[in-house]
Amino acid sequence: MATKPANTATKKTTAKLAPAKKPDAKPAAGTAAAKPAKPAGAKPMPAKASAAIALPAKASAAKSPAAKSPAKAAKPAAAPPPGAGPAEGDRAPAFSLPATGGRTASSEALKGKPFVVYFYPKADTPGCTTEACDFNEALTQFKGLGLDVIGISRDAMPALEKFAAKYKLSFPLASDPENATAQGYGAWGEKVFMGRRSIGLLRSTFLVDKEGRIARAWKRVKVDGHAAEVLAAAKALG
């Protein structure tokens, strides 16, 4: 029949005119992109396994050489051992120090004469004041024997001048701020006060004869009666 061919041509023309829809290349704004499909049979990686891949920060810091051992503080210089310094019969170390009253306490100036040199920790403290006043009271007797008395500490000159004026001390008080003379006589080292250990000046006294040698040495002096004991030794010196 004539109508059948016409219908077939119409259908073919319609199919050509309708273009096929292409998939959108970009997702619409605000829409999350679809995740790619996992291949069949793939197993997800366990959480512990993935964490093991990255080294934790703490473990990394522990392996660092700087974190392994902190820098050690420098140790203070060791003090001379107790008893260091000249013994009886040894030559007395030389010294030349500024002293109260604008004087200079010098072993060279005392050459050929006996003298007493004593070391004390700090001016105008109870024990040091008692010791200084005791030597000052006995000074006339020391002078009668031809002996000079010299006190040495690490105090600065202004403190020594004030100390001497306050107690009317006639003999020279010398300043040894660097402890050089104290160390030469072994009067510097470890001491214990009220159970606490420290490094400092050790109360010491030396009786030097006219030959410049140590006739008597008193270490770690107890103040009470000390000046009288030194005076008795000076009398025995002759």
Catalytic positions are 128
Between CA 232 and CA 238 the distance in angstroms is 11
Name the 3-class secondary structure at 209: coil
What are the backbone dihedrals phi and psi of residue 205, each rounded to the nearest 5 degrees, phi first? -135, 145
Between CA 80 and CA 83 the distance in angstroms is 8
What are the backbone dihedrals phi and psi of residue 165, each rounded to the nearest 5 degrees, phi first? -70, -40
Strand (E) or helix (H) holding 191: strand 188-193
Q: Please report how the helices 157-167 and 126-137 are oriented relative to each other, as an axis angle in degrees rounded to 10.
A: 60
Residue with tokens 């006294």: 205
For the chain, the helix, strand and coil percentages under 3-state DSSP, each to the nearest 5: 35, 20, 45
**How many angstroms separate the Cα of 198 from the Cα of each of 49, 126, 183, 202, 224?**
59, 19, 15, 11, 23
| DSSP label of 204 | E
Name the token pair of 235. Answer: 């009398």
DSSP-derived pairing of the beta strands 204-208 and 214-218: antiparallel
